[in-house]
Amino acid sequence: MRTATITRNTSETQIAVTVDLDGTGSYDIETGVGFFDHMLEQLSRHSLIDLHVRTRGDLHIDQHHTVEDTGIAIGEAVAKALGDKRGIRRYGDALSPMDETLTRVALDISGRPWLVWKTDFSQKRLGEMDTELFKHWFHSFAQAAGITLHVETLHGENNHHIAESAFKGLARALRTAVEIDPRKGDAIPSTKGTLGGEAA
């Protein structure tokens, strides 16, 4: 069972996250930020990773700590569930169209976290969520999960579509990358025999 639970408690947030990499896309998410919940639901549904999230953050200040720490906790849970990454496909990519918007996402579960972000928004908020926090969430998730992650919106006008296509693209790329490849058996997908650190 490739599952993991992470709890993260600080003076700013209290978070509990459970993931099942071999799930069906079932989710139960409450962060206190409605649009953020909607995006995490898309991530779960389209990756087929079951995701349970409970976040209580200092929203009376702003959403920054809530979004950042939730990204860290989800990333840590994914990394823990992957274990030593034996047999995974490792790489994933997706073109994610949503009406006029098209986003390209590519990732490598490399153990070497990196984010390349080429996505912009023309408005400051979607619902009650600050749009500048989308990049911050992707960065926090990639760092904690140990993923090299590239996100680029090729076309897009509607801000809701831009955000949603990025999360759906991540979901579909992640679904491919975490899947067990039956041709690999239990081999770690690296010529070095381990994933993480220098080029593998």
Q: Tell me the CATH number at 50.
A: 3.30.230.40
In a domain, 154, yes or no: yes
Distances in whole angstroms, Cα of residue 14 to Cα of each of 11, 56, 136, 158: 8, 5, 19, 33
Domain assignment present for 172: yes
Residue 176 parent element (H or E): helix 159-178
Is residue 141 helix, strand or coil?
helix
Q: Which helix (H) or strand (E) holds 194?
A: none
- 111 part of a folded domain: yes
Predicted local confidence at residue 1, as pLDDT: 85
The pLDDT, as a whole number, for residue 193 is 59
- Taking the C-alpha atoms of residue 106 and residue 93, their distance in angstroms, rounded to an integer, is 4
The encoded tokens of residue 137 equal 């969430």
Positions in the chain short of pLDDT 70? 188-200
In this prediction, residue 184 carries a pLDDT of 80
The answer as to whether 140 is a domain residue is: yes
Q: How many domains does the chain have?
A: 1
Query: pLDDT value at position 194?
Result: 60
Dump pLDDT digits (tens) for 22-77. Answer: 999 999 999 999 999 999 999 999 999 999 999 999 999 999 999 999 999 999 99
Q: Give the structural domain span for 7.
A: 3-178
Asked if residue 141 belongs to a domain, the reply is yes
The reported pTM is 0.93
Whether 183 is in a domain gets the answer no
Residue 82 lies in a domain: yes
12 close to 55: Cβ distance less than 8 angstroms:
no
Q: Within a domain: residue 34?
A: yes
- Evaluate the CA torsion angle 18, 105, 124, 38 in order and state its sign: negative
